[in-house]
Amino acid sequence: MLTQKSIVADDALSTLTGQPRGALLSYTELTKMMHQYIRTKQLRLKACQHCNAPIPGYATYCDKCGKTV
């Protein structure tokens, strides 16, 4: 028998997912919600094309080399 793992939303998960505190979330739901949060907040990193330093996905210039990306 397959069982679906679940987690109870604490304050941090409630804030990140928009679900009420104490809600029961499956790992699948939680993963989807976290990916959505990362996309909407533009938290993904990209690499500078000039020096290959990690920079936020929304950056317009590199903090390391100062060039426009």
Q: What is the pLDDT of residues 4-13, one digit of tens each?
A: 789 999 999 9
Name the amino acid, one letter, at 57.
G
Phi, psi of 35 (to 5 degrees): -65, -40
Predicted TM-score (pTM) of the model is 0.60
Provide the residue ranges of all domains of the chain, joining segments of one domain with +.
6-56
Position 1 confidence tier, pLDDT thresholds 50, 70, 90: low
Cα 8 vs. chain centroid, distance in angstroms? 19
Mean pLDDT over the full length of the chain: 89
Whether 56 shows a pLDDT value over 70: the answer reads: yes
CA distances from 43 to 2, 36, 57 (A): 34, 10, 6
Q: Supply 1's token pair.
A: 């028998």
